[in-house]
């Protein structure tokens, strides 16, 4: 057990800053603003059920404002807190069609953040865990200038930080700045995130597969053969996989990160408008790919490393196959048709 367990996330940031030669505190201030935004979202998500009841009575509006959809509220919270930090020159949200300009009253900072403010929010009425996902890049254009497309559309390998927050049975923030993956759990009694999962590493192979099997008829042959194999073939060799799929990627990803296994959202023919699958490269696949690689895992489209993809559009969608390296490697064999099931 690391002696660091229990330190606050603020102290963790400051320790990292002291280890970074030439650090100015700018990145730390950005991370602090993000943590504050997530604490506010956690508070609002925690009242979701009540807001609906109280909202109807008209007795209480959330934060004294017109009751908003929670994902709109989360989006606004993150935009306001990051802009006010003075550390960002551009933002891109899953909730907004275009790049978000930073209001003139704030300095143009040196970072760009892509974020999904409240992923899985359609599950909130069922009290299923949902989350915020974020991905941080350093600007390429000169300081104090207008941000450019090149600033916003960088490959995932250029991320300088990424992470997610799960609003569930407890609120946990998992992130990396390139020196491994750490998890912090919110202690609501003191309003602090405390280090609870130091240096997370994912198992080389797991026994969990996560995929929406309702899309089976829309998958390519390699994906169908792989899923059939781990459901039928493996058990012949004494390895029995179990299916776990919540439909909220932060929850599915976090479980597989800790226990091992594979999460798949392959390209499917279900929606002609989304031939590359449902998940977004910049605010879902890239940050989770950064995390899984830092934890010893793999993230691929099935044929290409996620972090190598040169993005062309902020809402670009990609197939995502992510998790334990041996599980992803086996899937790729089926995709290349080196393996077939049932045996030809």
Binding site for ligand P6P (CB under 6 A): 119-120, 122, 212, 247-249, 252, 278
Rounded to whole angstroms, the Cα distance separating 38 from 239 reads 39
Nearest 10 degrees: Cα torsion 292, 307, 298, 342: 140
- Residue 251 CB, nearest approach to ligand P6P (Å): 8
User: b/e per residue, 36-47, with b = 16+ CB within 10 A?
Assistant: bbbbbbbbbbeb
> Quick one: 123 or 148, whose CB is closer to ligand P6P?
123
> Quick one: 27 or 290, whose CB is closer to ligand P6P?
290
> Quick one: 110 or 129, whose CB is closer to ligand P6P?
129
- Residue 9 CB, nearest approach to ligand P6P (Å): 24
Helices 26-46/70-85 angle, 10° precision:
160
- Residue 284 CB, nearest approach to ligand P6P (Å): 7
Tell me which residue has tokens 């020159």: 89
- Residue 77 CB, nearest approach to ligand P6P (Å): 19
Q: Quick one: tokens of 39?
A: 């604490």
> Quick one: 131 or 198, whose CB is closer to ligand P6P?
131
Interior CA angle at 230 toward 228 and 235, to 5°? 115
Is 273 exposed, middle or buried (CB count within 10 Å of its CB: 0-12, 13-18, 19+)? Answer: exposed
> Quick one: 71 or 87, whose CB is closer to ligand P6P?
71
Rounded to whole angstroms, the Cα distance separating 102 from 122 reads 28
> Quick one: 196 or 212, whose CB is closer to ligand P6P?
212
User: b/e per residue, 314-340, with b = 16+ CB within 10 A?
Assistant: beebbbbbbbbbbbbebbbebbeeebe
- Residue 258 CB, nearest approach to ligand P6P (Å): 17
- Residue 121 CB, nearest approach to ligand P6P (Å): 8
């Amino acid at each position: 057990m690391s002696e660091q367990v229990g330190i606050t996330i603020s102290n963790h940031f400051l320790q990292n800053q002291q280890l970074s030669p030439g650090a100015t505190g700018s990145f730390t201030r950005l991370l602090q603003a993000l943590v504050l935004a997530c604490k506010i979202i956690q508070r609002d998500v925690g009242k979701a059920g009540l807001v609906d009841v109280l909202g109807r009575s008209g007795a209480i509006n959330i934060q004294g404002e017109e009751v908003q959809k929670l994902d709109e509220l989360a989006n606004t919270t993150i935009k306001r807190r990051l802009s006010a930090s003075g550390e960002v020159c551009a933002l891109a949200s899953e909730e907004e069609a275009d790049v978000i300009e930073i209001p003139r009253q704030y300095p143009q900072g040196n970072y760009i953040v892509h974020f999904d403010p409240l992923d899985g929010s359609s599950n909130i009425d069922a009290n299923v865990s949902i989350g915020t996902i974020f991905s941080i890049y350093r600007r390429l254009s000169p300081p104090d200038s207008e941000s450019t497309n090149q600033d916003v559309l960088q490959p995932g390998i250029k991320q300088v930080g990424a992470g997610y927050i799960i609003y569930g049975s407890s609120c946990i923030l998992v992130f990396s700045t390139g020196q491994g993956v750490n998890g912090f759990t919110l202690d609501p009694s003191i309003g602090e995130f405390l280090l609870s999962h130091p240096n997370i590493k994912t198992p080389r192979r797991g026994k969990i597969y996560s995929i929406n099997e309702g899309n089976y008829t829309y998958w390519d042959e390699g994906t169908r053969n792989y899923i059939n194999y781990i459901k039928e073939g493996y058990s012949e060799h004494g390895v029995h996989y179990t299916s776990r799929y919540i439909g909220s990627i932060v929850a599915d990803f976090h479980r597989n990160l800790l226990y091992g296994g594979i999460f798949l959202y392959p390209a499917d023919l279900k929606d002609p408008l989304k031939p590359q699958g449902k998940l977004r490269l910049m605010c879902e696949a890239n940050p989770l790919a950064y995390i899984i690689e830092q934890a010893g895992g793999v993230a691929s489209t099935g044929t290409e490393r996620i972090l190598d993809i040169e993005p062309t559009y902020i809402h670009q969608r990609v197939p995502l196959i992510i998790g334990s390296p041996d599980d992803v490697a086996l899937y790729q064999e089926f995709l290349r048709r080196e393996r077939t099931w049932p045996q030809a």
